[in-house]
Amino acid sequence: MSYNVDEKGYYGQFGGAYIPEMLYPNVEELRQQYLKITAEPEFKAEFDQLLKDYVGRPSPLYFAKRLSEKYNTKIYLKREDLNHTGAHKINNTIGQILVAKKLGKKRIIAETGAGQHGVATATVCALMGLECIVYMGEIDIQRQAPNVARMKMLGATVRAALSGSRTLKDATNEAIRDWINNPVDTHYIIGSAIGPHPYPDMVTRFQSVISEEIKWQLKEKEGRENPDYVIACIGGGSNAAGTYYHFLHEPEVGIIAVEAAGKGIHSGHSAATSKLGKVGIIHGCKTLLMQTPDGQITEPYSISAGLDYPGVGPMHAHLAETGRAEFFSVTDDDAMKAGLELCKLEGIIPAIESSHALAVLNDKKFKPEDVVVISLSGRGDKDLNTYIDHFNF
């Protein structure tokens, strides 16, 4: 079975491009061009060089000795938190800004929830001298003031999404409406492995540098390319997609996906889409999403803004349906404890998104000889206030 996208833009029954006709010319142009552009030697050279000199790749694969001792297994952390701007998001924005330039676009739009993708987009727009407009829910703007300031410092315009629940889902709607209103000169940099085809595949390919590096780094450290398990958190799923990509067709590698259970899967305050979602259409693709019986998209909840999305990328919906990936869901409390544990044991303050992945160590028993790679998607600086509030520091 293939876990990659097929020619029509689907992963099994998931994916496709369910978009209004107004978006068709842009999405179709991208569909026809993205593989061609990204395969060109000059593109590859520029992408690789920026990842190396600007982002700071390869990100280390760090053997977490004390964490390994505690859980009696061999744990490696893939340090995406050490990238420029503090998370994996920049891998994708570098790739897409180069595609946008190739397509002759002059204006960049993006959506953001917590602000990490917004900052990563504002950063590459500053780097390339392109106009940048970031849509952010009005409520998120209030919750994430430091990232709003960072985007402004980087020269971006931050526009508040005032519709619906005024969070990530609505910021995405507003970005799509902007693209409808500006069909010629604008490229939309989607931040997660979601949206109409070819976005999920394009984002996955740009993020796949994560698993590509894990392979050779593990070969150096363990004498083998394949770990026994790779673990990543999933909101829309861009970090997970990149972490899994080169292991999808290696059956000996166990794939573990960790969603946000929020206050509990059945608490009514959760973002555990694989458990609560049904097949439907969100933001241009067919996937699993949280919705009412009548098909209205519902508002998710997680303490982690990066996992607070009512859908999941179509690749991951397929991994869930086929059983290729094992899905866990972790509550706010358990994630926060796991994050704090990493601080104390390894001297690393993780993003709360990444803390969800770490919390699986308490839910699943690994063998002492297992090699377990956990993707540390981002650093926790942005989450200090949440940590402070949660633990009353």
Which residues of this chain interact with another protein, rule CB under 8 A? 16-22, 24-25, 163-164, 169-170, 173, 176-177, 180-184, 278-284, 291, 293-298
Name the catalytic one among 59, 74, 78, 111: 111
Residue placing its CB nearer to another protein in the complex, 281 or 343: 281
Q: Return the number of other C-beta atoms located less than 10 Å from residue 25's C-beta.
A: 11
Using DSSP's 3-state secondary structure scheme, residue 259 falls into strand
Query: Shortest distance, CB of residue 184 to another protein, whole angstroms?
Result: 8
d(CA 11, CA 13) in angstroms, rounded, equals 6
Q: Which of 74, 89, 101, 382 is flagged as catalytic? A: 89
DSSP string covering 149-198: HHHHHTTPEEEEE-STTSSHHHHHHHHHHHHHH-TTTEEEE--SS-SSTT
The nearest distance, CB 16 to another protein, in angstroms, is 7
Q: Give catalytic status of residue 111 as yes or no.
A: yes
The nearest distance, CB 199 to another protein, in angstroms, is: 14
Sheet-wide strand order for 107-112: 157-161, 131-137, 107-112, 186-189
169, 353, 377, 382: which one is catalytic? 377
Beta bridge partners of 258: 233, 328
Answer yes or no: are the C-beta atoms of 337 and 192 closer than 8 Å: no
Q: Which of 264, 229, 241 is nearest to 365 (CA)?
A: 229
377 in active site? yes
Q: Provide the minimum distance between the beta carbon of 322 and another protein in the complex, in angstroms, as a whole number.
A: 21
Q: Which of residues 81 and 170 has its CB atom nearest to another protein in the complex?
A: 170
138 is catalytic: no
195 or 313, CB closer to another protein? 195
Q: Which helix (H) or strand (E) holds 233?
A: strand 229-233
Q: What is the helix (H) or strand (E) element at residue 10, kind and residue range?
A: strand 10-11
- Tell the smallest beta-carbon distance from residue 163 to another protein (Å): 5
* 197 versus 324: smaller Cβ distance to another protein: 197
Any bridge partners for residue 136, and if so which?
112, 160
3-state DSSP helix/strand/coil percent for the chain, to nearest 5?
50, 20, 30
Shorter beta-carbon distance to another protein: residue 24 or 43: 24
Catalytic sites, residue numbers: 89, 111, 377
